[in-house]
Each structure stands twice: as structure tokens, then as C-alpha cells.
Amino acid sequence: MQNLESELKQWVGAQLEAHDFLFAPLQGDASFRTYYRVQHGNNSYIAMLAPPAKERTDAFVAIAKAWKGYDLQVPEVLAWHQEHGFVLLSDFGDTLLLDRLSHESVNEFYLHAMKNICALQSTTILDFAIPPYNEDYVRLELSLFQDWFLAKLLGFEITEEIKQLYEETTQQVVSYFIQQPQVVVHRDFHSRNLMVLQNGTLGLIDFQDAMTGPITYDLVSLLKDCYITWPKQDVHRWVEFFFELLKKEKKIPAIDFQHFLKWFDWVGLQRHLKVLGIFSRLKLRDNKSQYLQHMPRIMNYVLEVTGIYPELSNFHHFLQANVVPQMNTSLLQQLNTGTQKVA
């Protein structure tokens, strides 16, 4: 990794035709990518290093170039070395939307963000085929909950009874996933991937995993954010605002709001079961334990949905009676050993 970082620095110098620039690492995310701020004179840039064996940069570059044409604020790709996984980008600064959200500011920010979702749903990628968020991929993501969260993090023995229960839940989730209009989705449209720019608009980052999927997916990522929670009545109000936007643009069939809300809930269930698995894997495989503190919030999102719909009653009982107590014990152990502060 050290060699790659040195090569990246040399490459950046060649792109800028300069030797006297500052090159400082930035806080990482949940991926294998690393980022650096480059300052040369009065100009600032972001250098991204995506190890080719673990990450791809072609999707990021293709989507960034395409979305620029749709009035979406995405970083400008200034230079790219695909073989080494080097990308030089314009700098959006350091202000995450998460850092600016408050009860006073959230409504304006979210209305703006939802308009951005509508805009990106209308995009097409001319030189890069966005993969479909199909049944196989939905199932693959849902398997993370069983394999990494239940079995590996919490130590459950995955019995035939548990397998059958989870397969029934998975099948229901898949049906709601694929029956919705399929559009371009960012897939991580949340407050840590939205930047507040100097002109007050929102910049989009971390979009290289975009797919063609359910029309409610990015809305769930925004409104049921894994890093911040809002009152249920506010979430429903924002969902209804988005529903009216889609109706105005004729992007959805003739359904009522309750039908749309059910789409939203079930897609949210898939996302949050998946994230529980991903955060478990980040802890166990990648030694990134900081994500465990968000698990209670994410489990609450899951229970909100499983507690509403009768067809999920068996799964809801299993979670409440077996999974939640074990999760709380596991997180408490993390706290007692001093390896993780649980919020």
C-alpha cells in the first residue's frame, strides 16, 4: 500500500506539473479506497486510490462524467489512471450533510436532496452499463444478514428452522423489490455521501456502485439514514412529498400513497438487513468496529417494518425474542472490553 501511495503522489505531481504541493490523507470510509487532499497554490484537489485488485474506478469515472450532464453536482474527473486505480478529482470540501443536519435545517436539505434523487433517476449512462438490482443480487445482499450478522457476529447456529423463516422473508422482500419501477439508484444516498457545497447545493459522492433498482431505494437511504434518525411522522411527510414529485413527473403507475409507502417500507427492510450484515463484516473481517455503534438504530428500522405487516409476524417475533437480546449482549461486551463505544 505504501508503494501505491508513493506512486499516486508521483502521478499527481505529473498531472499538476508540480513538485511543491501538499498531500494529506483524509478519513477513510467503509471501502478499500483511500483519499488524499492535494493543495497546490490556491487550488485544492482530491486524489483517490482504489487498489485495482479490490476496487474498480471505471464505473466511478463513467458515472461522474454522465451525471455532470444532468445538473447533478458530482466531482469533476480531472485525470484517471485505470490500471493503477488513480483518480484526480475536484474538491468538494469537508462539510458532510450529516454535520449540517438539525431540526431547523433538515426539511430544506431533504427537499433539495429528494429533487436530486428525481434527477438521477432520469439519467442514463452512455459508456458504462449499470447492472440491474435483480433477484440474485437482492438475495446475495440479504444473505449477509444471516451469514455475517446472525452466524458470525452473534454466534447463532443457523438451523433449518431459521433458514426456512429467513427464506420466506427473503422471498417476500424480493417480490416487493422487483415489482417497483426500476430506475438508476445511487445505492448509498445518505448524509455521509452528500456534501454541502459553498453555494449551499448538495454534492454527490461515492456513487460507483450505482445500479438499476427500485424507485424507492435512494429515498430509504436518505430518510432512514443509518447515521441519524428522524420522527416517523416527518419521514412519512417526506415520503409523501417524494410520491407527489414522482406523480407530477409521471414516473410511477396509478397507485395510492399507502401502496407507495409499502414499497418504501419493504425496500427499507432489505437495505437494513443487508447493512447489519455489512457492518458485521466490517468489524470481523476489516477490523472497523466503529460501525457497530449504529446497529441499534438499524435494528429499530427493521423492527418498525416487521412489526407493521402481518406476513412478517413470525420473523418479527424471532428478532424480538432471540436476535435483539443477543445483539444487545454482544454490543455490551464490545463496550466492556473497551473496543467499541456503543451509542
| pLDDT, mean of residues 218-237 | 98
Centroid of chain to Cα 340: 22
pLDDT at residue 87 tops 60: yes
Residue 126's identity, in one-letter code, is L
pLDDT bucket at 127, cuts 50 / 70 / 90: low
- Its sign, for the CA torsion 292, 116, 69, 184, is positive
User: Do residues 226 and 190 lie in contact, with contact meaning Cβ atoms separated by under 8 Å?
Assistant: yes
- Cell, residue 275: 447493512
Distance, in Å, from the CA atom of 65 to the CA atom of 99, rounded to the nearest integer, reads: 27
Q: Examine the pLDDT at 268 and tell me if it is beyond 60.
A: yes
| Mean pLDDT to the nearest integer, 62-68 | 90
What does the pLDDT average to over 108-118? 96
Segment 207-231 mean pLDDT = 97
Identity of the highest mean pLDDT range in 6-20, 46-60, 105-119, 127-141: 105-119
119-128 exposure pattern, b = at least 16 Cβ within 10 A, e = fewer: ebbebebeee
Mean pLDDT confidence for 299-318: 98
Average pLDDT, the chain: 92
Domain 2-90 fold: Phosphorylase Kinase; domain 1 (3.30.200)
**In the numeric block, which cell numbers belong to residue 134?**
435483480
Residues 222 and 189: beta-carbon distance below 8 Å: yes
Grid coordinates representing 225 are 439514514
Please compute the mean of the pLDDT values over residues 119-143 and round it to a whole number. 89
What residues does CATH 3.90.1200.10 cover in the chain?
97-336
Given the candidates 3.40.50.620, 1.10.287.1260, 1.10.3720.10, 3.90.1200.10, the CATH classification of the domain at 97-336 is: 3.90.1200.10
pTM for this one?
A: 0.92
Task: Tell me what the mean pLDDT of segment 236-248 comes to.
Answer: 97
- Confidence band of 19 (pLDDT split at 50, 70, 90): confident
Residue 81 C-alpha cell reads as 489512471
The CATH 3.30.200.20 domain(s) of the chain lie at: 2-90
Encode the chain in three state secondary structure: CHHHHHHHHHHHHHHHCCCCCEEEECCCCCCCCEEEEEEECCEEEEEEECCCCCCCCHHHHHHHHHHHHHCCECCCEEEEECCCCEEEEECCCCCEHHHHCCCCCHHHHHHHHHHHHHHHHCCCCCCCCCCECCHHHHHHHHHHHHHHHHHHHCCCCCCHHHHHHHHHHHHHHHHHHHCCCEEEECCCCCCCCEEECCCCCEEECCCCCCEEEECCHHHHHHHCCCCCCCCHHHHHHHHHHHHHHHHHCCCCCCCCHHHHHHHHHHHHHHHHHHHHHHHHHHHHCCCCHHHHHHHHHHHHHHHHHHCCCHHHHHHHHHHHHHHHHHHHHHHHHHHHCCCCCCC
Q: What percent of the chain has pLDDT over 70?
A: 95
Q: What is the pLDDT of residue 267?
A: 98
Q: Name the residue among 194, 188, 154 with its Cα closest to residue 73.
A: 194
- Give the pLDDT confidence score for residue 56 in this predicted structure: 83
Nearest-angstrom CA–CA distance, 284 and 30:
13
Asked whether the predicted pLDDT for residue 335 surpasses 80, the reply is no
Asked whether 324 and 298 are in contact (CB, 8 A), the reply is no
* Mean pLDDT along residues 154-183: 96
Using the predicted structure, report yes or no on whether residue 317 has a pLDDT greater than 90: yes
- Separation CA 149–CA 112 (nearest Å): 34
Other C-beta atoms within 10 Å of 168: how many? 14
pLDDT band at 53 (very low <50, low <70, confident <90, very high): confident
Query: Which residue, among 222, 216, 231, has the nearest Cα to 191 in the 3D structure?
Result: 222
Residue 35: beta bridge partners? Answer: 48
